[in-house]
């Protein structure tokens, strides 16, 4: 994650955890395992459900939040790490909940001394008390289910289709855990300042879960489209697809992406847009590369005239930094957002302000037709193009970029490609004095 999103991630845990502790100071004066256990179970349960609720809200792809986290790609990264954090805290919660019971059952601990259960005159509190056994039982099974589903989501070897189908069950587990939390959280917490905040998060998370279960995420941002042209580049195992959009598309900037649904059973897949926006000719182009079971079948499954759905646009990888020089690095299929920007620049007014640009395209595979089109787009946009073919030219690194661009210290860097390559390039330029937090822009194009 970027430094900004790391601060947001750890800031979330720090603020949520500290607020609960400040309002439950008796945890520090508790004595004995079982009294301490009660506080820790409450604290960890609160943290896990707060994280899960925020993750559920982020799954709605709220576009208004993109400027604050630098794009939907970064938002999904926070969503992913909140899920991982929630899983870890949930395991911790489960161990503290069940571990002492196991120890008592094994004879290692004496059971806690409990007095008679109080009788509640508050009807709501009495109702919650009567539901405790049910909430504990269904919550435990929901924990097992959500833990298994999160593990499936994190294992990249699981095919996307299976990931998508199983991930859609998470909202069900979440709703069960909401019931578990509402019943079992300390009743007196609801009247503290934290109670309404927690309640609103559970309510918003439940809304997000229902939207997900109904398949309505991004529904208002979907427009119909029809495939009008396709072009296959076998040398780089890529497919260019042109789609004419129906009414409702708000327009897009070069570098943004959209979710495209061509098969309802497969669901929506994110693709970077490879064309500039012309309102008088509402078409959009995507370039997809054979990277898995879904994309490898697209040349056979897609047909001219086929109806599709396009949702978006999303993303903040839009080249807006105001600097006089930019360095672009597109590795493999990561060249796509730069193609869109080249086309956008080629149609801009001749006197429109633009930075000086060096575009580096590093690739292992070669397709002469694709490279010829890229070169033509670069000439039309007055951009210096540097093509490096791995087998012929070796790998691209920071040293080669700095040798080719004497004014690299004054430039911003825009990278799209494999995550490991981007991480290494960012570290390289950081070591050479570049303020990478301000000047290194990277598309984190991983939605799981």
- Chain segment 412-438, per-residue pLDDT in tens: 999 999 889 999 999 999 999 999 989
What local confidence, expressed as pLDDT, does residue 446 receive?
A: 66
User: Strand, coil or helix: what is 250?
Assistant: coil
Cβ neighbours of residue 372 closer than 8 Å, sequence gap 6 or more: none
Distance CA 216, CA 204 (A): 15
Tell whether the model's pLDDT for residue 447 goes beyond 60.
no
What is the dihedral sign for C-alpha 208, 211, 217, 223? negative
Residue 138 predicted with pLDDT over 70: yes
Q: pTM higher than 0.95, yes or no?
A: no
The answer to whether residue 3 scores a pLDDT higher than 80 is no
Q: Kindly state the DSSP code that residue 279 receives in the 8-state scheme.
A: T
Nearest to 80 by CA among 50, 43, 54: 54
Beta-carbon contacts of 11 under 8 Å, excluding residues fewer than 6 positions away, are none
pLDDT tens for 142-161 read: 999 999 888 888 777 667 77
Per-residue pLDDT averaged across 292-305, rounded?
A: 80
Mean pLDDT across the chain, nearest whole number? Answer: 90
Residue 397 tokens, joined: 């690194």
- Find, among 261, 258, 288, 283, the residue nearest to 273 by Cα: 258
Local structure of 266: helix, strand or coil: coil
Distance CA 299, CA 232 (A): 7
Please name each of the domains of the chain with its CATH number: 3-213 (1.20.120), 219-314 (2.40.30.10), 325-442 (3.40.50.80)
Comparing C-alpha atoms, which of 316, 203, 309, 199 is closest to residue 246? 309
402 falls in which pLDDT band (50, 70, 90)? Answer: very high
pLDDT grade for 349, boundaries at 50, 70 and 90: confident
The answer to whether the CB of 312 falls within 8 A of the CB of 297 is: no
pLDDT of residue 413: 97
Give 190-219 pLDDT, tens digit per residue.
989 899 999 999 999 999 999 999 999 999
- In DSSP terms, 149 is beta-bridged to none
How far is 402 from 400, CA to CA, in rounded Å? 5
**Whether residue 441 has pLDDT greater than 90:** yes
Please indicate whether residue 25 or residue 117 has the higher confidence score (pLDDT): 25
% of the chain exceeding 70 in pLDDT: 96
Asked whether the beta carbons of 16 and 86 are under 8 A apart, the reply is no
């Amino acid at each position: 994650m970027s430094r900004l999103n790391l601060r947001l991630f750890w800031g979330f845990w720090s603020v949520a955890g500290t607020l609960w502790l400040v309002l439950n100071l008796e945890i520090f004066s508790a004595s004995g395992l079982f009294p301490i256990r009660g506080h820790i179970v409450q604290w960890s349960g609160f943290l896990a459900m707060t994280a899960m609720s925020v993750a559920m809200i982020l799954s709605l792809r709220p576009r208004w939040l993109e400027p604050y986290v630098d794009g939907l790609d970064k938002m999904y990264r926070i969503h992913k790490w909140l899920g991982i954090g929630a899983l870890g805290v949930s395991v911790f919660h489960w161990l503290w909940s069940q571990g002492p019971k196991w120890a008592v059952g094994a004879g290692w601990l004496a059971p806690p001394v409990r007095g008679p259960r109080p009788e509640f005159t508050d009807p709501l509190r009495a109702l919650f008390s009567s539901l405790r056994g049910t909430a504990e039982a269904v919550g435990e099974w929901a924990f097992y289910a959500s833990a298994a589903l999160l593990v499936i989501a994190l294992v990249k070897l699981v095919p996307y289709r299976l990931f998508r189908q199983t991930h859609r069950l998470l909202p069900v587990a979440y709703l069960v855990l909401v019931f578990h939390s509402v019943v079992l959280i300390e009743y007196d917490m609801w009247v503290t300042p934290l109670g309404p905040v927690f309640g609103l998060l559970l309510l918003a998370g439940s809304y997000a879960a229902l939207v997900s279960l109904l398949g309505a995420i991004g529904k208002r941002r979907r427009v119909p489209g029809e495939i009008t042209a396709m072009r296959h580049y076998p040398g780089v195992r890529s497919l260019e697809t042109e789609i004419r959009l129906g009414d409702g598309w708000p327009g897009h900037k070069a570098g943004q992406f959209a979710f495209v649904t061509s098969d309802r059973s497969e669901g929506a897949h994110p693709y970077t847009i490879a064309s500039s926006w012309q309102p008088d000719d509402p078409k959009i182009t995507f370039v997809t590369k054979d990277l898995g079971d879904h994309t490898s079948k697209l040349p056979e499954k897609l047909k001219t005239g086929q109806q599709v759905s396009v949702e978006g646009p999303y993303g903040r990888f839009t080249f807006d930094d105001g600097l006089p020089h930019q360095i672009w690095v597109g590795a493999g299929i990561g060249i796509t957002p730069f193609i869109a920007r080249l086309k956008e620049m080629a149609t801009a007014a001749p006197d429109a302000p633009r930075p000086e640009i060096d575009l580096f395209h590093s690739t292992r595979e070669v397709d002469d037709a694709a490279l010829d089109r890229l070169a033509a787009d670069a000439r039309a946009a007055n951009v210096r193009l540097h093509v490096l073919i791995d087998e012929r030219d070796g790998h691209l690194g920071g040293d080669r970029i700095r040798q080719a661009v004497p004014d690299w210290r004054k430039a911003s860097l825009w990278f799209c490609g494999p995550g490991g390559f981007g991480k290494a390039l960012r570290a390289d330029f950081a070591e050479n004095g570049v303020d990478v937090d301000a000047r290194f822009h990277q598309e984190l194009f991983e939605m799981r």
